[in-house]
Amino acid sequence: MAVKKLNKDKEKEALQELTKFRLIAPAKSDEVVIFKQITDPGEAFLEYGNSTVPPKKVVFPQTETLFRFQRGNPELREKNVEEEGTTVIFGLRPCDARAMSIVDRLFSWDYEDPYYLKRRELTTLVGLACVEPPSINCFCTSLGGSPFGTEGLDMLLADMGDHYLVRALTEKGEKLQETLSAHLEDAPAEEEKKAEEMAARAEGKIARSINTEGIPEKLPTLWEHELWKKVSAACLGCGICTYLCPTCHCFDIQDEVEEMGEGRRARMWDSCMFSEYTLHASGHNPRPTRRERTRNRISHKYSYYPKRFEVIACVGCGRCINLCPVNIDILEILEQVVDAS
């Protein structure tokens, strides 16, 4: 499908067109940017770096009811995800889209998660390329991503100044481009070359990096290494590094009985950085301190996950570095892993 352009003076009209779907876009909430459903195109805020909470919450909600039940009644009332409707996530960053493609492998692995997979099927991802790195701690290029990356996306927009260059990448993207056809124009032939030059410049602005070669194989050899005690010493165990990570996917499932015997089975985000996460009913905990939990977090992303799914479960968005209250830096941890002997 031909590359198109969307003039910025038609941006709101295009977004209004998309409100026929469940439209999720970045919007300001006090001093932070969050992804939320919008019905007013004026709420969309596309001049942002990156959101605090990744848009993974759209397909993997922080809390969701799986089904409801009534005490004494064997009938279960399952949640129908299709009722949420066809969804468009507009303006997410390429790293967050790539994160979803990484997590897809887990939720379709030994057990196909019907809630997650149905949402993914009903969702179209429209990315917004990073002309400038969203933060000093971005390192997507170390992990196979890029500021103009397309993995996981159905459509990619690139900010060219007074307009966006629009490129459909999948069948879903082509359908969305047809939906927006009244607001799009053919892009001049030289625009694609200009966008390629912008992409190269954007990659050149990524200031931080790590050479991941050999890390997945080396991590299991450092099981008892003293570095884990050192790098976890300042950790507060708040779990923000996992909650705000676009690839973290730990969850807990609880049955909650309400008044009159009405109840629900609910799934909610959990964190391997919490001591209760691995606490056994016997009282034994195989990860009793932050040393073991930090070792597990890094090993899961950089060793266990690639061993199972052939991809590192980190996209280099930098959120865990930017938002850690005690400035724990995953790149510094990985550098110590590389240097450890």
Between CA 312 and CA 216 the distance in angstroms is 8
Q: What is the pLDDT of residues 223-253, one digit of tens each?
A: 999 999 999 999 999 999 999 999 999 999 9
Rounded mean pLDDT, 33-56: 96
> Residue 74: CB partners within 8 Å, gap ≥ 6?
none
Relative to beta strand 123-128, strand 155-159 is parallel
pLDDT above 90 for 23: yes
Between CA 222 and CA 54 the distance in angstroms is 31
Q: What was the pLDDT predicted at 2? A: 81
Surface-to-core class of residue 112, CB atoms within 10 Å of its CB (0-12 exposed, 13-18 middle, 19+ buried) = exposed
Tokens for 203, please give them.
């990659």
Between CA 93 and CA 153 the distance in angstroms is 9
Q: How large a percentage of the chain has pLDDT more than 70? A: 100
Q: What is the pLDDT of residues 213-228, one digit of tens each?
A: 999 999 999 999 999 9
Tokens for 235, please give them.
């950790």
pLDDT above 90 for 179: yes
Strand intervals (E) in the chain:
4-7, 22-29, 32-37, 63-70, 73-78, 87-92, 123-128, 155-159, 163-168, 185-186, 251-257, 262-269
Rounded mean pLDDT, 12-41: 96
Contact 172, 154 (CB under 8 A): yes
Between CA 55 and CA 316 the distance in angstroms is 15
Between CA 15 and CA 45 the distance in angstroms is 12
Q: What was the pLDDT predicted at 183? A: 97
Contact 128, 92 (CB under 8 A): yes
pLDDT above 80 for 124: yes
Contact 120, 60 (CB under 8 A): no
Q: What was the pLDDT predicted at 31? A: 87
Q: What is the pLDDT of residues 279-305, one digit of tens each?
A: 999 999 999 999 999 999 999 999 999
Q: Is 200 helix (H, G, I), strand (E, B) or coil?
A: helix
pLDDT above 90 for 258: no
Average pLDDT, the chain: 96
> Please, which pLDDT band fits residue 182 given cuts at 50, 70 and 90?
very high
* Structure-token match 């990744």, residue found: 54
Q: Partners of 124 in the beta sheet?
A: 88
Residue 72 vs residue 178, higher pLDDT: 178
pLDDT above 80 for 29: yes
* Structure-token match 């996992």, residue found: 242
* Structure-token match 């070669």, residue found: 213
Q: What is the pLDDT of residues 199-210, one digit of tens each?
A: 999 999 999 999
Q: What was the pLDDT predicted at 260? A: 85
Q: What was the pLDDT predicted at 325? A: 97
Q: What was the pLDDT predicted at 42? A: 96
Rounded mean pLDDT, 61-70: 96
Between CA 57 and CA 36 the distance in angstroms is 10
**Nearest one of 99, 196, 94 to 150, comparing CA atoms:** 94
Q: What was the pLDDT predicted at 13? A: 97
